[in-house]
Structure 1
Amino acid sequence: MILVTGGTGLVGFHLLLQLSLEKEAIRAIYRSEKKLQHVKNLFQKENKLAEFEKIDWVQADILDIPALETAFTDVSYVYHCAAKVSFDPKDEDKLYQNNIVGTANVVNISLSTTVKKLCYVSSISALGNGTEHNLILNEETERNNEAVRSDYSISKFGAEMEVWRGFQEGLDVVIVNPGVIFGNGFPKEGSSLFIQNIKEGQSFYTLGKLGIVAVEDVVKAMTTLMKSTISGERFILVAEDVTYKELFDRIADCLASSASATKVKKPKYLVKKWQTQTASVLEFVFAKLFFRKRMLTKSTINSLYNLEIHDTSKIKKTIDFEFLDMKVYLKELIEKR
């Protein structure tokens, strides 16, 4: 049996959609009935309601060991997609608990049961650091622990350490490090907020870069790696490194050409780093006074001006992998909204 944690998230949903086409039994973990109903609706839109019903849905939490142990009964392969995503410093403990402790629980139970192989969905934020003379990152780039890092980045790196521990103790593992994942089905979460913000008239941009990838490519890489004999390896999954300006312009063009939003304009005001840093001070005061979540932390500001690019030759060579064209993909994605 295959077990998927985080079955009601973007990667989890698309992974289950793909796995449901295969013959092996599937079990998926969910936490809330509301999210489960949302995924059920997505399966129905894909005319796959019968496949949804075949999945053994188990309500559990990766921090609830007894419930997790029940979910692992007779499981041979695990896709660990569950994670907490936040860049608010107030969520440091939640990130540690969900991403590091939760992953440790998944690894420990995998080691003590019938699990043969584990695939962990990490992030490019867990990778090493570029330098002034080399901005190209690969799977072996060293991580500078003195660099400014978000709590999310630290938690994903810590989770990877738990997976590597499992590998050292005899568990077959693979790790994927995707960039910002785009995909349909979750219009108010994650990367979809880029599209929503441009649609609502965002006028500012920076010239930093970010790695982007389609969720279908993430799922394809994960399932291919799990079916292979590959173990003890991590793989960067980035289809393209693009500046925020280029991404926002593409999104605006796609929205403008769609029937639903013909008046969308491209962002036109370049924001320099010092301006963002000034705004972060004001935001800090505002957040303290009104108990709001912070967005402009040191780590998020650095990411807005980051110029690192990602070497994806490893995944391409190892499993003969080709990424989808993100220009075409974004256009098709926005047309589906």
Structure 2
Amino acid sequence: MHKKVLVTGATGFIGSRLVRKLVSGDNEVYALVRKSSSLVSFSGILDRVRLVEGDVTDPDSLKKAFEGMDRIYHSAGYTYMGGDSSRDATLNAINVQGSRNVFDAALEAGVERVVHVSSITAVGFSSNRKPLNESFTWNFDQIQLKYAETKHLAEEEAQKAVARGLDCVIVNPAFVFGAGDVNFNAGRIIKDVYEGKMPVYPLGGVSVVDVEIVVETTIRAMEVGRCGERYIIGGDNISYKQLAGTISSVTGASAFRFPLPFWMASPLLYLMKRLNFRKKVSKLFNLSMFRVASEFLYFDSSKAIRELGMKSEPHEFSIRRAFEWYRKEGLL
């Protein structure tokens, strides 16, 4: 049946790829955008997307935008994993209060179903390399990563909305690579390895997945996911050493770098600042990010494979696809 489908965070990495996939179907696709939003991510498909002005931090704009909508993909979010506490208020406003606003507006508008795009940081991290599943008890409070806290709280808001009658499914994408990452989210590591700004690597690991797999699985979650359930969308669980090695292999960058335990990160950063060397090293090398990267964000995606038919592929494919897209777009 023909549906009216709206995507929040539509100009972001996952949101924009979601819009691109949705417009190839039979539904009317609406993109929630702000006045200041760049529409570059809609290049070539603007004639098939209906733009709706609004902001997740503005409840009134959502009430108007959600009128008559059948389905909502809530992918809006603020991704910041540095240690600058001045950004805490923005993280709360967009990720927590913004999600609450979305769920409230969806309930009021009588939207039939919402898919909330969360994060693996809302699940937790493994201290023993054992992949975690959806039932794991959140433990990022041990690291005090504000971003993870806000994603965890947003899921709590989703569950409260479910209890009030909202049909909502949660998806938890892992470390997402692929075409369309114009802001270099996960792709920052590709850029920095390629440009020789990653002389060290942390001792943890991460689950890597391609954005197209995330998008396809998210759409399947809308179609067949169970209300109130969460689904991890991950892929290869690999160490940062392996990931950097793959990127070096794909890009032709130098593979020479050395392991850096977390206890050495702070004195090394201090030394780099004293020697005015900081700008020559990746922005990812900050204490907050390095603390997270020293743990293992390894995940078990078997539930999404079983219930949503999630596909999988070697992480090398995604790294190569992302790198080639950056080169084609002149971003590298």
Question: What is the TM-score when the length of structure 2 is the normalising length?
Answer: 0.87
Asked if residue 177 in structure 1 is aligned to residue 172 in structure 2, the reply is yes
Q: What residue number does 1:291 align with?
A: none
Q: What residue number does 1:23 align with?
A: 26
CA shift for structure 1 position 145? 6.6
Post-superposition Cα deviations, 1:184-237, rounded to whole Å, max 9, x if no partner, equal 123442012111101211221122101111111111111111112621100111
Post-superposition Cα deviations, 1:50-107, rounded to whole Å, max 9, x if no partner, equal xx21211012111112211111110010000000111232211110011000000000
CA shift for structure 1 position 183? 1.5
Q: What residue number does 2:219 align with?
A: 223
AA partner of residue 131 (structure 2):
I
Q: What residue number does 2:151 align with?
A: 156
Give the number of equivalent residue pairs. Answer: 313
Q: Distance in 2 between matches of 1:8 and 1:95?
A: 18
CA contact (8 A) 1:248 1:267 kept: no
Note the residue ranges of structure 2 that are not aligned, 5 or more in a row.
276-282, 328-332
Q: What residue number does 2:103 align with?
A: 107
Q: Distance in 2 between matches of 1:18 and 1:145?
A: 32
Q: Distance in 2 between matches of 1:105 and 1:284?
A: 41
Find 1:317's aligned residue among 291, 306, 313: 306
CA shift for structure 1 position 142? 1.2
Q: What residue number does 2:330 align with?
A: none
Find 2:261's aligned residue among 269, 272, 289: 272
Q: Distance in 1 between matches of 2:295 and 2:132?
A: 12
SS at match of 2:196: coil
Find 2:77's aligned residue among 83, 104, 117: 83
Q: Which moved more, 1:159-168 or 1:325-334?
A: 325-334
CA shift for structure 1 position 278? 2.2
AA partner of residue 325 (structure 1):
P
Q: Distance in 1 between matches of 2:120 and 2:274?
A: 31
Could you say if the C-alpha distance between residues 238 and 19 of structure 1 is closer, same or farther in structure 2, counting changes exceeding 3 Å?
A: same
AA partner of residue 321 (structure 1):
M
Find 1:8's aligned residue among 11, 20, 29: 11
Q: Distance in 1 between matches of 2:263 and 2:153?
A: 31
Question: What is the TM-score when the length of structure 1 is the normalising length?
Answer: 0.86
Q: Distance in 1 between matches of 2:115 and 2:294?
A: 31
Could you say if the C-alpha distance between residues 136 and 328 of structure 1 is closer, same or farther in structure 2, counting changes exceeding 3 Å?
A: closer
Instruction: Quote the sequence identity (%).
Output: 27
CA contact (8 A) 1:129 1:141 kept: no
Q: Distance in 2 between matches of 1:104 and 1:13?
A: 22
Post-superposition Cα deviations, 1:154-209, rounded to whole Å, max 9, x if no partner, equal 00011111111111111111111111111112344201211110121122112210
SS at match of 2:142: coil
Q: Distance in 1 between matches of 2:52 and 2:126?
A: 41
Asked if residue 244 in structure 1 is aligned to residue 233 in structure 2, the reply is no
Instruction: Quote the RMSD (CA, aligned, Å).
Output: 2.2
CA contact (8 A) 2:33 2:55 kept: yes
SS at match of 2:25: coil
